[in-house]
Amino acid sequence: MKILFLTHSFNSLTQRLLIELTRCGHEISIEFDINDATTEQAVTLYQPELMIAPFLKRAIPETVWRRQPCFVVHPGIVGDRGPSALDWAIMQGRAQWGVTVLQANGEMDAGDIWAAETFPMQWVKKSSLYRHQVVETAVRAVLTAVARFQSGKFKPQPLDYAQPEVRGRLQAPIRQTDRAIDWARDDTVTVLKKIHAADGFPGVLDTFDKETYYLFDACAEDTLRGDQPGAIIAKRNGAICRATLDGAIWIGHLKRKINGEPGLKLGASQILKHHLDEVPEVPFDPFSSDCGETYRDIWFEQKNDVGYLHFAFYNGAMDSHQCERLREVYQAATRRNIRVIVLMGGPDFWSNGIHLNQIEQAASPADESWRNINAMNDLAQAIITTDQQLTMAALQGNAGAGGVFLSLAADQVYARASVILNPHYKSMGNLYGSEYWTYRLPRRVGQTKARALTQNRLPIGAAEARDIGLVDNCFALDPVKFKQKIEQLAQALAHHPNYPALLQKKVDQRRRDEQTKPLAAYRSEELRQMQLNFYGFDPSYHVARYHFVHKIPHAWTPLYLARHRRIRTSS
Ligand code: COA
């Protein structure tokens, strides 16, 4: 079928649905929801058999939904209506939640139901819930709805609140007053629940020292305590720890509210640095074995002869300092008595490359970009040149841009079955990219595919990545099962009867590669292009980064997504 996606942005759910429906043999074109006239034009140009709205912030125009079926993916159970579905589900402590695919009509979220699926709720941030449970459930619901539509036999169910199984209700948009933390009354669980329910966007508005901030990225703290609820009692690697009535929590990220508008989302201690002189830095030892609940972005676990290096950076963005810290821990891990190192990334993202927010706020974004890409390259180089261990990248979550290429520094790359990779830099203002991609990528997929991947700018599913050799294998939808399988593979590799020969083969291969073309040559060629991106006359990268970090709404849909506009241009 010809399916048109109408979406606010090309977010993770939209990317995943594109991959899944393409796998089923459908042809997909994408239009960003810019205004009604543009949507009408897209429908006229493409003449889709079905339209799907995976992620919308506005209603579909009547001229469109009257003309043809439009499916709306709503992140709520049957009967739930309104724009704050997940926020309320977390705030209300629901045990089960769901995704409903309904047909757009004149009433928001009240159309006939084509498919509905549920999932058990998890005690996690809204952004995590969306990236895992919601995306997984939405894929099931959309595939069912599309199959039903295609069969021509299915009659969608009108929404009927008289039916006992319809448990959702119309819910008002959540306001900051609903989210507000009362530090003198709210216990730790309540504070965490409020911040989790607003994570990603918009954050919980809170006041500290007469200034207002949006709070994000919270987690519990087991041991630190303070007398005054709300007081900042510790800082660590960009995060701050605040006392609560009955304990303490960490807050990783903040946005300052400036002149009524939210600023950039950055590390909390960076935003509050002028208030934190007296606050102790409480370091975390990444090699400590039992730390209880606390804030940590880098940690190492050892099981038998295998070391697992976790780096759970918020949004997968890695700033210069984080790259440097990670490299130091990595190098310390290589000095341990282990045979295999597994690079685990974080549960939500493996890595999304250099930290664009951090770069944007720097006094010289060009200098900070340069420092950040060099720090990424130093890390990639340390992994590529490891000669005492075999290495694995285990992609539990998605990876984008330099994050994908960093994973290729490892000897073996495995991805969870639902992971999406964006192995390209080009959409960030024609960024050339580094991380030794010109060395690692063609070796895996060949020159032709390497060119296609980096130029087409499209996401690729884990199975497709395996089929072309970008990753070695993919398995398990479930994160727990993925980790179990990774442990089995890593243990098996560490105890492989030919382990010494495998390690020697890798060392010999690296030596031959170095003789053919030194790593330093790849690096300097890539960085020469990056220097032009950062310091040259063409400001595209700086403009694209500004648009990305400030979330400037799209003015048009790029042609690599809008197939319907491509057809027209080429005819
Ligand atoms: N630096 C800073 N923030 C980043 C980031 C980066 N490299 N990559 C992603 N983020 C942030 C987004 O701004 C967003 O922030 P929010 O919490 O305020 O919403 C959040 O991560 C999630 O990103 P989003 O785009 O909504 O996730 P997605 O899963 O839908 O899309 C990508 C993933 C990788 C396609 C997309 O985030 C992207 O293009 N990132 C930029 C990659 C890049 O160009 N890196 C620099 C070159 S190495």
Per-residue pLDDT reduced to its tens digit, 499-550: 999 999 999 999 999 999 999 999 999 999 999 999 999 999 999 999 999 9
The residue whose CA has the least distance to atom 35 of ligand 1 is 400
Going edge to edge, which strands form the sheet with 349-351? 349-351, 398-400, 420-422, 460-461
| pLDDT of res. 261 | 82
Query: Which residue out of 57, 264, 315, 404 has the highest number of ligand 1 atoms within 8 Å of its CB and is therefore the one to mutate?
Result: 315
Tens digits of per-residue pLDDT, 109-154?
999 999 999 999 998 999 999 999 999 999 999 999 999 999 999 9
The answer to whether 57 and 9 have CB atoms below 8 angstroms apart is: no
Contact 391, 383 (CB under 8 A): yes
* Amino acid present at 355: H
Dump pLDDT digits (tens) for 363-386: 999 999 999 999 999 999 999 999
Inform me whether the pLDDT recorded for 571 exceeds 50: no
How much is the pLDDT for 289?
79
CATH entry 3.40.50.410 includes domain 176-275: no
**Paired strand residues for 261:** 258
Domain parsing of the chain, residue ranges: 2-151, 176-275, 298-538
Nearest to 80, CA basis, from 9, 11, 168, 17: 168
**Which of ligand 1's atoms lies nearest the C-alpha of 548?**
13
Q: Is the pLDDT of residue 235 over 70?
A: yes
Q: What is the largest CA-CA distance in the chain?
A: 75
**Pocket of ligand 1 contains residue 83 by CB under 6 Å:** no
**Residue 260: predicted pLDDT:** 81
Name the residue type at position 178: D
Express each pLDDT in 408-448 by its tens digit: 999 999 999 999 999 999 999 999 999 999 999 999 999 99
Compute the distance between CA of residue 31 and CA of residue 49 in angstroms, rounded to an integer: 15
What is the rounded CA–CA span in Å between residue 493 and residue 305? 10
Of ligand 1's listed atoms, the one at least distance from the Cα of 314 is 21
Instruction: Give the tokens for residue 274.
Output: 């002028």
Phi, psi of 431 (to 5 degrees): -60, 135
Contacts 24+ apart (CB under 8 A), 501-504: 502/390, 503/339, 503/387, 503/388, 503/389, 503/390
**Nearest alpha carbon, ligand 1 atom 34:** 400
**CB-based contact 131:397 (threshold 8 Å):** yes
CATH domain 298-538 topology: 2-enoyl-CoA Hydratase; Chain A, domain 1 (3.90.226)
- pLDDT for residue 568 is more than 70: no
Q: What is the mean pLDDT of residues 86-107?
A: 97
- Condensed to tens digits (0 to 9), the pLDDT of residues 171-224 reads 999 999 999 999 999 999 999 999 999 999 999 999 998 899 999 999 999 999
* Helix pair angle (519-535, 437-445), 10° resolution: 110
pLDDT of residue 262: 81
Q: Tell me if 176-275 shares its fold with 298-538.
A: no
CA of 425 to the centre of ligand 1 (A): 12
pLDDT of residue 484: 98
The residue among 270, 273, 297, 301 whose CA lies nearest residue 283 is 297
Question: Is residue 21 classed as helix, strand or coil in its secondary structure?
Answer: helix
Query: Which residues lie closer than 8 Å to 326 by C-beta, 6 or more apart?
Result: 298, 309, 311, 318, 379
Q: What is the DSSP string of 406-472?
A: HHTTSSEEEEETT-EEE---TTTTT----TTHHHHHHHHH-HHHHHHHHHH---EEHHHHHHTTSSS
At residue 291 the predicted structure's pLDDT band, cuts being 50, 70 and 90, is confident
Q: What distance in angstroms lies between residue 353's CA and the mean position of ligand 1's atoms?
A: 9
What is the model's pLDDT at position 57? 94
Taking residues 88-117, report their average pLDDT.
Answer: 97
CATH number of the 2-151 domain: 3.40.50.170
Distance of alpha carbon 513 from alpha carbon 524, whole angstroms: 16
Is the distance from the beta carbon of residue 237 to the nearest atom of ligand 1 less than 6 Å? no
Q: pLDDT, tens digit, for every residue of 396-417?
A: 999 999 999 999 999 999 999 9
- Give pLDDT, residue 567: 65
Q: Which of 18, 134, 352 to mutate to test the pocket of ligand 1 (most atoms within 8 A of CB)?
A: 352
- Helices and strands counted in the chain (H then E): 21, 22
43-59 tens-digit pLDDT: 999 999 999 999 999 99
For the residues 477-490, what does the mean pLDDT come to? 97
- pLDDT, mean over the chain: 97
**Is 434's C-beta closer than 6 angstroms to any atom of ligand 1?**
no
Cα(246)–Cα(185) distance, integer angstroms? 10
H runs (alpha helix) in 107-256: 126-129, 135-151, 176-179, 188-197
Q: How far is the CA of 315 from the centre of ligand 1 (A)?
A: 6
